[in-house]
Structures are given as C-alpha cells and as structure tokens.
Amino acid sequence: MNEKKRLYNITTFGCQMNKADSERMGGILENMGFEFTEDPNNANLIVYNTCTIRDNAEQKIYSYLGRQAQRKHQETDFTLVVSGCVAQQEGENLLRRIPELDLVMGPQHVNRLDSLLEQVFAGNQIVATEPIHIYEDITKPRRESKVSAWVNIIYGCNERCTYCVVPNVRGVEQSRTPESIKAEIEEVARQGYKEVTLLGQNIDAYGRDLEGTTETGRNLYTFTDLLYYIHDVEGIERIRFATSHPRYFTERLIKACHELPKVCEHFHIPFQSGDNDILKAMKRGYTHERYRHIISLIRHYMPDASVTGDAIVGFPGETEAQFQNTLSLVNDIGFDQLNTAAYSPRPNTPAALWDNQISEQEKSDRLQRLNHLVSIKAAEKSQRYLNRVERVLVEDVNPKDTSQVMGRVEGNRLTFFKGDITSLKGKILPVKITQVRSFSLTGERVF
C-alpha cells in the first residue's frame, strides 16, 4: 500500500528547556512515523510548545492557535497539540477557550507524547497536566544543531521567587541519574556532537533529590560531582551549563570549572536586582554583596571568564533609587551580556497580587535605560577580544552573509569569519578577531 506521508511541525516559544523538550517531542513523532515539515500549514500534526514567563509570551500563542484551530473544521486528518508552560498553566481552560484542541499537555508529559497521541487517535480529547514522575526518554531527540546538544540534567524548580511561574508550570525538582546523563552525552558524542550544554532551571540544585543522597551532605551528589563524572566523554570538546543560582553557587564549582579543561569559562548567573530589599521581596535568598563576591571569586580563578545574567526592572515597589542599585551592579560587574525584562505580573504568583505595582511607562523607561548601559558595558567587554586569537567552534553558515561561517568563542560571543560551512562545521579553529561589537565579533581564520 502506498501510504501518504504524515507530516508534523513544532513551533517553540520560550527558554532552552522548552527547545530541548521540542527536540525530544520531534524524536518521538519521528519514531511514530511522522516526518518533519517546515510549513505548519502543510502539517497533519502541529505542536505549539508554549511559554508563559511573561504576559506577552503567553498572548502570542493565542493568535497562532486561533488560526490553526479553523483547520479542524475542514480537515479530517489534522491534530492540534498545545504543550509547554501555557498548557500546564491553563489546562482545561484552554479547551474551553479553543475547543478544537486535541491535546493539552504540560512539560512533565513530554516523554510520553506517543501514548497521549494514541489516546487522541482513538478519538479522545486529552488534558495531561497532573504532576508525574518524569520517566527517562528512550527515543532519540531530533536535535536542531549538529554541533551542540542540550542535555537536561534536572527538571522543575523548588524555589519560590515571588514573580515567577516556573515552579507552577514545571513542577518540583527531578534530577536525572548521573548514569543516564552520561549515557546521553556518550550517545551525542558518537553522533559527532562537539559541545553539550547541561540544562536546569536551577542547575545548582542538581542531585539533592536523588535517592541515596542525604540532607547532611554525607552522600550528597552535587552538580560539581556530575561535572567531574561526565567530563572525559571522548569526542565532546566543550561543556556549558545553565542556569546557575547565586544562592547555591559554590567555590568548589568555580574551582571545578577552572580545573576541568572542557568546561567553558562562561557563567550565566541571573541576579534579577541589585537592591537588597527588592531581592528580599523577590525571595531570591542572597544579597548583592554575595553576588559580587561570587563574581570576584570567578574572576580570581579565571580572569578572562565571561559573565552573563538576567535582570528584572520595575518589580512591585521598586523605587528609582533601588533601580539605580541595579544600574550600579551592572556598571560594576560589566556583563558580557544580560537578558533584561520589565516585570510582568503572572497568574498564581505572590507579587502579582501586591498593590505597589509600577506603571508600564516607568517600567519601559527603566528597561530602556538598563539596556543602554548593558550594551555599552558589553561593547567594553568585547574590546578584550580585539586582535586576540580565539578558538571558535563553527556551528553554521552566517544567514546574513553566506560567504561566512559563524560559531562561538569559549566565552560564548557569536563570531563570524570567512569560510565554507561544509568543510568547517563542527571544527574548533583559531580565529584572529578583527572587529568587535557589543554582542558579536568578526575575525579571520589563522592557518
């Protein structure tokens, strides 16, 4: 029988965690016989893997969904899935809002997409948002990159930052075992990957929920232990990780990063605010002094290390003087890059209910001022690369100039140089940096 190919498309919003989830769902769908198509309008099955970190992220997806939902009335072989953080947050409400949906599934259910779809194909409309033990994925992710692979090491988050939806939508911390993480890294190494990025919302929490570990630290298996354990996988040349939490970041981890040659000297450590009272209201569990101390320890061991982070402006009650403390921190640290956002009240988070909200106009004004400083400081940080020879891991062609390839230096700056992607992809090459900008570099290959 000559069966028509069934096509799928996944559109991903949000963080690396969601992107990694999409890659696993893609793997599962291909295992089920679906083939990927670039064009959602052409697909028999569409997944929207959604994000709800801020209101604008959430609203974006309703317009996409509205359009595709119409197809349910015209096509018989069409399946519409909403996964990710909006799915978890809204659950049954999504079905009320968009009755055409076939499947609404939270992030914890990603690895069981196949069994959920079987129920859908049997004629059911499914909402899968109950908390579950995340079981190991046995299918192969369909990875976007052929050079750099994401490897989830811990799901969920046990923190309770007062602005944040992540604990609500991603559930409690669940660490994968060191053995299964190492097996995945060995597998991607066999496939030719050169770099892995270890992922967790709070990567420093890794291991504390694993069986056989104790609160007293006797058998405690930490993220640092994991780094030593996975470091020597042959074929992997670079190891990155995100996201670090200043509350749990240790000197032992810094020493490990310094000692282990494959671990890149790049630290992504969100600080959120430079003001101690705001940090307290956010329930972050550290002071700006502690944050500064961590960064100076990092620079003590690795003077050239890149430091990036996240910050929020206009948190409820933030005064101009408190905002100035954030500017001072940014000025003093000199971030290589900073993800910045205006505070957005989120459902079922404490801060959303407070009556000291900052006006939208004030928030966007502060955001602009912060971004301006970030870009000046990043440009200053870029200066250190000028005329230096950096090792660049080539990832892809430069989409804006196909005579160039692009990749990253160890510190994670995006770097462009002339070359042919077919022969250079996946190689680590010496490149002399000839031009620097705030967030990217241009160079020439050194032979």
Which residues contact ligand F3S by CB under 6 A? 14-15, 17-18, 51-53, 84-85, 165-166, 169-170
* Contacted by 18, from ligand SAH, ligand SF4, ligand F3S, none: CB < 5 to 8 Å by type: ligand F3S
Residue 90's CB: how many other CB atoms inside 10 A?
A: 23
Which of 81, 101, 264, 312: binder of ligand SAH (CB under 6 A)?
Answer: 312
Contact letters for ligand SAH, residues 216-255 (x by CB under 6 A)? ---------------------------x-x----------
The Cα 280–Cα 203 span in angstroms is: 21
**Interface segment toward ligand SF4; rule CB under 6 A; list 156-164, 256-264, 319-327, 425-433:** 156-164
| Per-residue DSSP letter, 272 | B
Write the binding mask 183 to 222 for ligand SF4: x where contact by CB under 6 A, - elsewhere: ------------------xx--------------------
Q: Where are the beta strands (DSSP E) in 19-100?
A: 35-36, 45-50, 79-83
- For residues 286 and 276, give the distance between their C-alpha atoms in angstroms, rounded to a whole number: 8
Chain-centroid distance, C-alpha 84: 13
Taking the C-alpha atoms of residue 152 and residue 168, their distance in angstroms, rounded to an integer, is 19
Which amino acid type is present at position 314? Answer: G
Q: Distance between CA 60 and CA 167 in Å, rounded?
A: 21
Q: How far is the CB of 383 from ligand F3S (least distance, A)?
A: 32
Binding to ligand SAH (CB under 6 A): which residues in 189-208? 201-202
Does residue 281 bind ligand SF4 (CB under 6 A)? no
> What's the distance, CA 70 to chain centroid?
32
Min. distance of Cβ 184 from ligand SF4 in angstroms? Answer: 23
β-strand 7-12 against 428-436: which pairing, if any? unpaired
Pick what 14 binds: ligand SF4, ligand F3S, ligand SAH, none; C-beta below 5 to 8 Å, kind-dependent: ligand F3S
The number of residues in the chain equals: 447
Count residues binding ligand SF4 (CB under 6 A).
9
Is there a contact between 311 and 328 (Cβ–Cβ < 8 Å)? Answer: no
Task: Give yes or no for residue 343 binding ligand SAH (CB under 6 A).
Answer: yes
**What DSSP line would sit under 175-187, residue for residue?**
EPPHHHHHHHHHH
Residues of this chain that interact with ligand SF4 (CB under 6 A) are: 157, 159, 161, 164, 166-167, 201-202, 245
Residues at the site binding ligand SAH, with contacts judged by CB under 6 A: 53-54, 163-164, 166, 201-202, 243, 245, 270, 272, 310, 312, 341, 343-344, 346
